[in-house]
Amino acid sequence: MNHSNPANLALIACPGGEIFADKVVVHLKKGYRRSFDNLIAELGKHYELESHTAARQVNFINDVCSPPHKIQGNAAEYRSPHIKIPTLFTFFPNGEIKAEILESIRGKDIYIVQDVENRYPVLFNSGETKKALTVNDHLLTIFVTVDAAREAGAESITLVLPVYPYSRQHKKKGREGITAGRVAKILESLGVTRIITLDIHSREINNAFDKMRLENLHASYQIIRELSRIPGIFDDELVVVSPDTGAVDRNKFYASTLKKPLALLYKERDYSKVSNNAIDNNISEIKLLGDVHGKTVFIADDMLGTGGTLLKAMKFLKEQGAKKVICAISLPLFTGDAIRYFDEAYQKGLFHRIIGTNAIYHEDLLWREWYISVNITKLFAQTITRLHQGLPVSSLLDNRSIIVKLFEKSADKA
């Protein structure tokens, strides 16, 4: 496998995932540039070659090994790879969607990027049409794009889905479907060989895969990095609080890694009610196991929808004497009027900051004083590179040691 030239790697961006994909491509190109420079330095040192001579030799091998044998650029310099494949998406008047790949991808490993929770208008028909899509529209766009890639002769198809669609429909309580698993079956039947996602809502979904692989990434390092940059965080007594029993493992990871105490919020719900928004939800009572009085509270959760559960939790923690509340959310959906409710809660002093990833595109959040955006596209780019090169990704999935070093280093500076 050639680590300095991604000859058989190609990326297709669905309309909803265009912004995320462009950032991933930037990191991919930077990564391959570093690999190229490191290789040139090593070859020059080992074989006593001038850098331009070593570069010429590497480019020669890359040109010989890279289909379709097109020689481009200066042979003695680094040549930036062509990764993103131009694709035309058509939105027809009756609502149908078509994907047309505009250059050959035969024999390539294709990575299709889609943000199924992007609720902003996206471009179709060569930029002439703008449409705001639902999750179902984004999912159908995935289907037609995967089908187009398969028909075009792709060697393998990997989906890059920062948010796995229908992930909250992962278990059966009555006469209902397990739609998260059904989505996996459909994607597998279309020819998808792997899915890369972030903090999937339930690991049970992996059981629905027969041959398809799931790479479930975590943004813990990126979140801790931003947490350590909050002024005064090391001056306060910090306690990690799990917002419910389902998030215990996640918050236990943070507590043990940061060497901080762990507390738990227990919520009783009235399941005869449906949570419609941040105010009208089904939580009837909250109880605290642990002590937060006079302390800074750090809460981590995988997903924020309407935000009602978190708002009630933050209000309860402040009533229990918490000095400051900081939340970390891997998948900040902020559906409905959630942003407005959090604006009001921030004005009331119910929380200090919310750290969220850019797994979901949100223009409205970026200029909020209370919101800190974490860029995870480098994490996805590193994962794509390692998978394409046949390298292990275990160090990206379990980064506890890196987090400890980061936090200790930041604490020393503080």
Phi/psi region, residue 293 (left: phi>0; alpha: psi -120 to 50; beta: rest), is beta
Residue 68 has pLDDT above 70, yes or no: no
How open is the CA angle 224-396-301, to the nearest 5 degrees? Answer: 45
Residue 275 has pLDDT above 60, yes or no: no
The whole-number pLDDT of residue 99 equals 98
CA 79 to chain centre: 29
Smallest CA-to-CA distance from 105 within 67, 49, 56 is with 67
Residue 69 has pLDDT above 60, yes or no: no
The whole-number pLDDT of residue 70 equals 60
Separation between Cα atoms, residue 356 and residue 320, nearest integer Å? 25
The whole-number pLDDT of residue 64 equals 77
CA atoms within 13 A on the CB side of 312: 23
The whole-number pLDDT of residue 402 equals 73
Separation between Cα atoms, residue 349 and residue 319, nearest integer Å? 11
410 or 353: which leads in pLDDT? 353
Choice among 84, 252, 260, 267 that is catalytic: 267
* End-to-end Cα, the chain, rounded Å: 44
CA distances from 41 to 46, 73, 248, 389 (A): 9, 21, 47, 20
Mean pLDDT of 272-281: 58
Mean pLDDT of 24-35: 95
Separation between Cα atoms, residue 171 and residue 169, nearest integer Å? 6
The whole-number pLDDT of residue 278 equals 52
The whole-number pLDDT of residue 57 equals 87
Residue 15 has pLDDT above 90, yes or no: yes
Which residue in this structure is represented by tokens 């480019």?
Answer: 59
SS3 355: strand
Residue 395 has pLDDT above 90, yes or no: no
Q: What is the pLDDT of residues 319-330, one digit of tens each?
A: 999 999 999 999
Nearby residues of 231 by Cβ (< 8 Å), 6 or more positions away: none
207 or 388: which leads in pLDDT? 388
The whole-number pLDDT of residue 121 equals 97
Look at 76-80, 254-258, 273-277, 368-372 and tell me which has the smallest mean pLDDT: 273-277
Mean pLDDT of 39-64: 88
Q: What is the pLDDT of residues 218-241, one digit of tens each?
A: 999 899 999 989 988 877 799 999
**Percent of the chain predicted with pLDDT > 90:** 65
CA distances from 48 to 40, 42, 45, 51, 54 (A): 11, 9, 5, 9, 9
Q: What is the pLDDT of residues 85-118, one digit of tens each?
A: 999 999 999 999 999 999 999 999 999 999 999 9
Structure tokens at 182: 């059904």
Look at 195-199, 245-249, 375-379 and tell me which has the smallest mean pLDDT: 245-249
Active site residue 267: yes
